């Protein structure tokens, strides 16, 4: 069941994120969402904004919030990598978008006269050694797509990053059919908050940048040398 939901969420995200080359790219710099129990979930208030774009609404319970799906049963232990995948789209993301001074509502659904929105957070965190409960944080990446009503020609690619903080408690004992819950953790709450600062390049990215600069410098020296002969 978990695999089916995750596959559905990823497939939907890739399908909707097939962005035309002419789409504008918008950097999301603030906002986010906070999820908390009880079991059964419910609407999650979500907001984000950046560069003339704002969204305020909710992620419905029919979206994919993978950390809860993964850790709602005693499957999260010390050393477990928790997938941060969280995604909502179409009618599962009700609210209002304001883009370049124009407000679009409602969003999604099957009616092509409505604007559409996809929002997806990705990343992972690992429950550390010696952990007994509390907060664990890790960076996330965000991408999405906003499309205006049919015929408007409006398409915008959304991108951003930030920090996800997940709060865990020891998993309470359950009667069968659940197995022994000793050492397992239950997700209590989660906060995904955007960061306006530019992300720090990873070491591999910095190496590629350095190699590129070195290559350009060598090419320039070669051209100068050729001109002197």
> Would you say the pTM of this structure is higher than 0.85?
no
Q: What is the pLDDT of residue 10?
A: 42
Pairwise CA distance, residues 160 & 26, whole Å: 8
Q: Please write the tens of the pLDDT for every residue from 40-97.
A: 557 899 999 999 999 999 998 788 999 999 998 899 999 999 999 999 998 889 999 9
Residues 6+ apart with CB under 8 A from 191: 32, 33, 34, 35, 164, 165
- Alpha-carbon span 154 to 156, nearest angstrom: 7
Q: What is the DSSP letter of 107?
A: B
How much is the mean pLDDT over the chain? 81
Q: Is 209 helix (H, G, I), strand (E, B) or coil?
A: helix
pLDDT for 209: 37
At 190 the pLDDT is: 95
Assess whether pLDDT exceeds 90 at residue 16: no
> Contact 140/121 with Cβ under 8 angstroms?
yes
- In the three-class reduction of DSSP (H, G, I as helix; E, B as strand; rest coil), residue 100 is classed as coil
Q: What pLDDT is attached to residue 1?
A: 54
* C-alpha torsion sign, points 176, 63, 33, 165: positive
Tell me the pLDDT tens digit for each residue of 74-86: 999 999 999 999 9
* Among 35-39, 148-152, 198-202, the least confident range: 198-202
pLDDT at 154 over 60: yes
Q: Is 222 helix (H, G, I), strand (E, B) or coil?
A: helix
Element (H, E) at 194: strand 185-194
């Amino acid at each position: 069941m978990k695999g089916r939901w995750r596959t559905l969420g990823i497939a939907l995200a890739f399908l909707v994120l097939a962005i035309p080359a002419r789409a504008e790219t918008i950097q999301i710099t603030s906002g986010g969402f906070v999820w908390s129990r009880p079991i059964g979930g419910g609407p999650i208030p979500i907001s984000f904004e950046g560069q003339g774009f704002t969204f305020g609404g909710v992620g419905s319970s029919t979206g994919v919030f993978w950390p809860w799906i993964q850790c709602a049963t005693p499957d999260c232990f010390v050393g477990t990598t928790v997938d941060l995948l969280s995604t909502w789209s179409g009618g599962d993301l009700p609210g209002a978008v304001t883009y370049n001074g124009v407000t679009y509502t409602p969003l999604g659904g099957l009616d092509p006269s409505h604007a559409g929105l996809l929002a997806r957070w990705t990343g992972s965190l690992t429950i550390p050694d010696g952990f007994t409960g509390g907060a664990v944080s890790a960076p996330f990446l965000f991408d999405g797509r906003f499309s205006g009503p049919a015929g408007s020609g409006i398409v915008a690619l959304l991108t951003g990053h930030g920090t996800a903080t997940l709060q865990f408690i020891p998993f309470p004992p359950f009667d069968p059919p659940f197995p022994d819950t000793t050492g397992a953790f239950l997700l209590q709450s989660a906060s995904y908050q955007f960061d306006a600062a530019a992300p720090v390049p990873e070491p591999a990215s910095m190496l590629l940048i350095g190699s590129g600069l070195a290559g350009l410098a060598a090419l320039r020296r070669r051209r100068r040398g050729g001109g002197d002969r």
